[in-house]
Amino acid sequence: MNYLFRLLFLLIILLGCTSEPTLIFSSEEFTEAQLEICKTEVCSSIAINYPKASGDPFISEKINSAISNYIIQGLFLGDDSVPSAKTIEQAAKDFILAYRDHQPDIPTDLDFGGYEAEISVQESYENEQIVSLEGMLFLFTGGAHGYGGTSYLNFDLATGERIENANLFVNYPQFEAYAETKFKEAHGIPENDNINANGFWFENDTFYLSETIGFNENNLIIVYNSYEIASYAAGPIVLEIPLTEVVPFLDSNLL
């Protein structure tokens, strides 16, 4: 009886341990109203929403750092290749000060039409091996229209490291060839016709995968942001391929 009791107790402990997720994501937000410099003066509009990972500190710290870096880079308007800001708050402050540097006579009207920044990061897919986060950025810094785009951050949940696109696939060139076939099908381009037959801008008339590759529950998603392969007016070009078709090309450790 004592042996059975110990066995049952051990089983309960093991089940309890395996049921807890490695990471938990909570929702965070940041706006210009949180900055001290905006308490008494009119500021450009900033709206940021993003997930924050908690749980395993080794893994969550890496993921949170990558999310933070994506937001900081998105707000960066400087001439240097790397922003000096180390936090989202500092990056937001620098974004606001950039407008003030460019526009010394700032109206006091709250609707003064200054710079705008909207950044959203949200979880689009997760299993036991990976999590895919979709980042969406829109900036307006003057001119006829704003600019922005979509990015994907894919992470290995065992290490917290970002997964490079090439490492998503067993054979990257083989998947690229398959994606070209799907792209032509989606845009009515005959198999043997030039990839730019419908007015796309692929360099050297050669298909290539975008750097923006991620996942949702049903599909692998490839996004060509504005100006990558078509005009701004065309908007982003999105190719979705069902996961059921993609699985043979993917690293078996991921899906």
pLDDT of residue 111: 52
Q: 171 with 139, same domain? A: no
Closest to 201 measured CA to CA, from 239, 234, 250, 179: 234
Domain containing residue 197: CATH number: 3.90.640.20
Identify whether 8 is part of a domain: no
Question: Tokens 């490839």 belong to which residue?
Answer: 222
Q: How deeply is 220 buried, as exposed, middle or buried, from its count of CB atoms within 10 A (0-12, 13-18, 19+)? A: buried
Identify whether 238 is part of a domain: yes
pLDDT of residue 142: 82
**DSSP designation for 169:** B
Question: According to DSSP H, which parts of 76-230 are helical?
Answer: 88-102, 172-186
Q: Please state the domain count of the chain.
A: 2
Single out the residue in 109, 131, 156 at which a domain terminates.
156
Range(s) of the domain holding residue 202:
165-249
Identify whether 216 is part of a domain: yes
- In a 13 Å sphere around the CA of 214, the CA atoms on its Cβ side amount to 25
Q: 25 with 148, same domain? A: yes
pLDDT of residue 145: 82
Q: 111 with 185, same domain? A: no
pLDDT of residue 177: 97
Identify whether 13 is part of a domain: no
Q: 26 with 145, same domain? A: yes
List per-block mean pLDDT (blocks of 10 residues) for the chain, which spans 255 residues. 46 45 88 94 94 95 98 89 92 91 57 81 96 97 87 96 96 97 97 95 97 97 97 95 96 83
Q: 174 with 124, same domain? A: no
pLDDT of residue 19: 44
H or E element at residue 221:
strand 219-224
What length does the chain have?
A: 255
